[in-house]
């Protein structure tokens, strides 16, 4: 394991590549523009200097409401370089949340996409910020590896998103665990991620991992769409392709999916939601490529449990990533037997320091060196972890627990089902399973509903089949593709 020096500044990622003689190598391709590592270093320094000119200093927060671009990268690294704390958020978020982020973080500066300026008081437009860049070296501030480095935000089913505080040493820890041990990322790689840089998964995929080793990253502004992602992959020929189950399903369901050339890709990676075995099967059949599925979180910064290339167990999140320990505990925080479902706790040195302004939630989530994920898992006899759902998504039917994931996976295997989500509902003074189904082709009807119920009865435990089925045009999801089951429980 890489030993992070006591004095370490995560804003110096690009410097590593200059020291290694990679200044002339392409670091970023984005919207027809290419930046070498030397040019990117200049922009990082210029962004740090521009922030200083606006009075930003050590541990001042810099709220970033930016799409993926070289400016995002320069601002994120430039802020850390001067000892400030970048806090990126989704540029697709609500105005109400933008105001919360600025207010809660005490942001000294807010930098936004030009189109968002009017929605955020006192914000600086991206184009105005870029115009203030002045070439010149900006020496990195002497920071401790345990200093506050950056924030990410973690949403929830209620209330505003929580500020997740990460330290400078967290970035190299993920680079030397998942990136090194599972991706085996190297200088020759080209990365492409559908998940944006403001998200922990995207930040590793398309910023910290490639710059740690001197690889090239392809940034794609705008909303991720299935056809656009495949076309971008054909054009820029990535070797590492990162996406989420929803988009993998949407890409492989395109009528001409098989006509797209993904021959450059050596590894596909999935996270954010469990990958349905049927989506994996279709992807393998269409492109001849495995998808390496894993689980991570904003709080742990990246993936801590994963399948491996050549060792993909459909329906599982794989095995612990070297550098992390996984523990399944019951409600009294005692270990459960193998094969039994328990609450997942993770140990690893990329864990959050705490939730900002959320002392009680921090105490409920952080237990010594263990982080409570809120996920329910079981471990197979040979050490693979199988996701059973969020603790608050599990469905108790007649005193027995049902996993929404198992129900959804079985529904998606039906040839008429594109996507599905399962929740528990009150019916006749007890809990029953209700499934929301997005159809492939024609809209669903009572005949299809009855067929789906029989399909599930023959493949699931009897009490798990959906007593009620609603056909919908789409499922509510987060910007990263996670199904928001709690929204399906809300009265219409």
CA distance 67 to 111: 11
For residue 388, being part of any structural domain is answered with no
Examine the pLDDT at 157 and tell me if it is beyond 60. Answer: no
CA distances from 87 to 5, 10, 298, 358 (A): 24, 14, 13, 17
Most confident segment among 51-60, 153-162, 396-405, 478-487: 51-60
Cβ–Cβ under 8 Å, residues 270 and 248? yes
Examine the pLDDT at 43 and tell me if it is beyond 90. Answer: yes
* Domain-ending residue, one of 379, 407, 439: 379
Whether 97 and 69 share a structural domain: yes
CA distance 126 to 70: 11
For residue 136, being part of any structural domain is answered with yes
Confidence at 491, pLDDT banded by 50, 70, 90: low
Cβ–Cβ under 8 Å, residues 413 and 460? no
CA distance 190 to 51: 30
Chain mean pLDDT for the chain = 94
Confidence at 429, pLDDT banded by 50, 70, 90: low
- DSSP β-ladder status, 370-379 and 342-347: antiparallel
For residue 69, being part of any structural domain is answered with yes
Q: Which residue has better confidence, 195 or 398?
A: 195
Whether 230 and 357 share a structural domain: yes
Whether 368 and 403 share a structural domain: no
Confidence at 390, pLDDT banded by 50, 70, 90: confident
Per-residue pLDDT, 492 = 42
CA distance 71 to 67: 9
Looking at the DSSP assignment, which residues form a beta bridge with residue 109? 62
Whether 362 and 399 share a structural domain: no
Helices (H), 336-421: 359-365, 404-412
Whether 100 and 39 share a structural domain: yes
Whether 354 and 447 share a structural domain: no
CA distance 364 to 366: 6
352-386 tens-digit pLDDT = 999 999 999 999 999 999 999 999 999 999 999 99
What mean pLDDT do residues 145-154 have? 97
For residue 384, being part of any structural domain is answered with no
Whether 174 and 42 share a structural domain: yes
> For a pLDDT cut of 70, what percent of the chain falls above it?
98
Looking at the DSSP assignment, which residues form a beta bridge with residue 355? 164
Whether 356 and 458 share a structural domain: no
CA distance 365 to 270: 25
Domain that holds residue 130: 10-379
Whether 371 and 429 share a structural domain: no
Examine the pLDDT at 399 and tell me if it is beyond 80. Answer: no
Please tell me whether the overall predicted TM-score, pTM, comes out greater than 0.75 for this model.
yes
Give Cβ neighbours of residue 393 (< 8 Å, ≥ 6 apart): 404, 423, 485
What mean pLDDT do residues 158-179 have? 94
When mean pLDDT is compared across 42-46, 107-111, 155-159, the lowest value belongs to 155-159
Give exposure, 398-415, as e/b (b: 16+ Cβ within 10 Å).
Answer: eeeebbbbbbbbbbbbbe
User: Cβ-count burial of 292 within 10 angstroms (0-12 exposed, 13-18 middle, 19+ buried)?
Assistant: buried
Confidence at 397, pLDDT banded by 50, 70, 90: confident
DSSP letter at 7? Answer: B
For residue 386, being part of any structural domain is answered with no
Residue 63 phi, psi dihedral angles, 5° rounding = -80, 125
Give Cβ neighbours of residue 412 (< 8 Å, ≥ 6 apart): 276, 278, 279, 418, 419, 420
Give Cβ neighbours of residue 304 (< 8 Å, ≥ 6 apart): 177, 178, 294, 295, 296, 297, 320, 321, 324, 326, 346, 348, 350
Q: Which residue has better confidence, 69 or 430?
A: 69
For residue 2, being part of any structural domain is answered with no
User: What 3-state DSSP class applies to 352?
Assistant: coil
For residue 180, being part of any structural domain is answered with yes
Examine the pLDDT at 237 and tell me if it is beyond 50. Answer: yes
* Domain-ending residue, one of 379, 404, 436: 379
Give Cβ neighbours of residue 145 (< 8 Å, ≥ 6 apart): 4, 5, 6, 7, 8, 167, 168, 169
Q: How many CB atoms lie within 10 A of CB 334?
A: 8
Q: How many CB atoms lie within 10 A of CB 167?
A: 24
429: Cα separation from own chain's centroid:
38
450-469 tens-digit pLDDT = 999 999 999 998 889 999 99
131-144 tens-digit pLDDT = 999 999 999 999 99
Whether 272 and 408 share a structural domain: no
CA distances from 374 to 38, 233, 390, 391 (A): 42, 34, 6, 6
Whether 437 and 295 share a structural domain: no
What CATH number does residue 158 fall under?
3.40.50.12780
Per-residue pLDDT, 463 = 85
Examine the pLDDT at 490 and tell me if it is beyond 80. Answer: no
- Closest to 483 measured CA to CA, from 189, 245, 264: 245
* Domain-ending residue, one of 329, 348, 379: 379
274-322 tens-digit pLDDT = 898 999 999 999 999 999 999 999 999 999 999 999 999 999 999 999 9
What's the domain count of the chain?
2
Per-residue pLDDT, 151 = 98
DSSP letter at 477? Answer: B
For residue 387, being part of any structural domain is answered with no
CA distance 224 to 298: 20
Whether 72 and 138 share a structural domain: yes
Per-residue pLDDT, 1 = 66
What CATH number does residue 459 fall under?
3.30.300.30
CA distance 221 to 164: 25
């Amino acid at each position: 394991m890489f030993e992070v020096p006591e004095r370490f500044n995560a804003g110096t990622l690009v410097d590593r590549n200059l020291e290694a003689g990679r200044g002339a190598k392409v670091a970023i391709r984005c919207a027809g523009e290419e930046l070498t590592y030397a040019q990117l270093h200049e922009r990082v320094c210029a962004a740090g200097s521009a922030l200083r000119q606006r009075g930003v200093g050590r541990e001042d927060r810099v709220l970033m409401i930016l799409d993926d671009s070289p400016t995002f990268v320069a601002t994120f690294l430039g802020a850390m370089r001067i000892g400030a704390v970048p806090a990126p958020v989704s540029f697709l978020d609500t105005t109400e949340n933008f105001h919360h982020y600025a207010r809660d973080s005490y942001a000294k500066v807010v930098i936004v996409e030009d189109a968002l300026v009017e929605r955020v008081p006192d914000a600086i437009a991206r184009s105005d910020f870029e115009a203030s860049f002045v070439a010149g070296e900006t020496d990195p501030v002497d920071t401790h590896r345990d200093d506050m480095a950056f924030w990410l935000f973690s949403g929830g089913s209620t209330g505003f998103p929580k500020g997740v505080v990460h330290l400078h040493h967290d970035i190299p820890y993920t680079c030397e665990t998942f990136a090194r041990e599972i991706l085996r990322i190297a200088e020759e790689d080209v990365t492409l991620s559908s998940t944006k840089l403001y998200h922990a998964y995207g930040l590793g995929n398309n910023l910290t991992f490639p710059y740690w080793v001197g690889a090239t990253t392809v940034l794609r502004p705008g909303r991720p769409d299935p056809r656009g992602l495949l076309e971008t992959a054909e054009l820029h020929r990535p070797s590492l392709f990162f996406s989420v189950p929803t988009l993998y399903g949407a890409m492989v369901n395109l009528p001409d999916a098989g006509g797209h050339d993904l021959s450059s890709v050596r590894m596909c990676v999935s996270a954010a939601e469990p990958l349905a075995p049927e989506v994996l099967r279709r992807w393998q059949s269409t492109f001849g490529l495995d998808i390496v599925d894993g689980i991570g979180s904003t709080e742990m910064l990246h993936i801590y449990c994963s399948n491996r290339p050549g060792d993909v167990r459909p329906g599982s999140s794989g095995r612990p990533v070297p550098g992390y320990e996984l523990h399944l505990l019951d409600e009294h925080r005692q270990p459960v037997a193998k094969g039994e479902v328990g609450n997942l706790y993770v140990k690893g040195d990329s864990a959050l320091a705490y939730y900002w302004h959320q002392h009680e939630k921090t105490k409920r989530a952080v237990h010594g060196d263990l982080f409570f994920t809120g996920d329910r898992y079981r471990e197979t006899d040979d050490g693979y972890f199988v996701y059973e759902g969020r603790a608050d998504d599990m469905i108790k039917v007649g005193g027995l627990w049902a996993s929404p994931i198992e129900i959804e996976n079985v529904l998606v295997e039906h040839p008429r089902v594109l996507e599905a989500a399962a929740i528990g509902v009150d019916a006749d003074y007890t809990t029953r399973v209700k499934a929301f189904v997005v159809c492939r082709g024609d809209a669903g009807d009572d005949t299809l509903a009855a067929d789906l119920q029989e399909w599930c009865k023959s493949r699931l435990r009897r009490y798990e089949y959906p007593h009620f089925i609603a056909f919908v045009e789409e499922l509510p999801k987060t910007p990263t593709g996670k199904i928001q089951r709690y929204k399906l429980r809300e009265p219409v």
